[in-house]
Chain A
């Protein structure tokens, strides 16, 4: 359950970036090959956010599919999992997408 630690990190980072404003929405990018269960983050989020500037905030998670480029033949292809290898037989890949783990943006409330 490393997702609980990740969710703590998300809430802490977003709270600092909000500089005292209430956070209405958090948008994450969590690739499908990142090793993170987005369902577990959703499960933890409300509880971790409670009592912080993120209390009640919506959580959007964008989940990019895996893509890789073969280092042998240069082909680019979809990698639904980490075991997918190139049609040419090579396992030497550069991963282009799917391993993202970022907080893309936060939406904050207007303060007056």
Chain B
């Protein structure tokens, strides 16, 4: 198989950084280039996730290109959202084909530690839903997840113990991931004893806001062909949107069913020519543990999905950490490590197909990205 592929990926351990975003991104670009086996002169394009408001340095794509003395002919910045990296992958693939250039690097970084949570709630999340009719009542991602979790409990579709079990599994996975933020194992009792933040969500069901950065090297088919066992192909992208902006205006709509996830999954699977049973590993954008249950069932996996499919072997956002602009890079990075067979103690046996699942709003919008190895074989 010959196609545009992801030949290199690099992230920094998630944590609290004094280094600014540009430092972290430059380190990731150089590491991703080495991982891909490309030289500086091969990198003819750069795509950056648009800089967060708290960041000093704006126009990060041009800044990084200048700092690293890249000889680029294509440059773009994409607006922040969980779907930003999904769009960047498609854009990079298109640019490489259209312009016949060897490589495009995609970069992103977030230092969430620069903004206190109360300020994050006051100045950002209150305006991402309706700024007059919804946000002022305290709406935030944790609140809309809590509304969905409450419906799961009321309908008997899940229990608080189910939510805690997800937290325990994610932490166990993170304990084997050197880039994860929280790595000490926890018990269900620890989760249920942690303080209530947005009922029924407790502290240990919630992602830490942290810092991180990543870079992905997308390359031309002839460059990818030099490393067939290490390059990953973006097999398909499924997209859907339910038409709402977090909170539906229309009575009767569910908070926990997330219909866009199923439509995006079926779209992706049809385009890739695969089925649920083909999926070996899933890295979903899930900042709160009840949302994993909503998303995985919404996608169409069975109620006890964790018994058949490896979900968030990296530890996921809840234990690995959630540096907002960079989180998508960590999801893709984990899938690539799994497909290469380089995930160490958390390696999924014979991984051949991996998914990342990304959101906008309360999964009003969903992207399901399907990845496989360039050589079509399985890891290990």
- Are the chains A and B members of one assembly? no
Q: B interface vs A, CB < 8 Å? A: none
Q: A interface vs B, CB < 8 Å? A: none
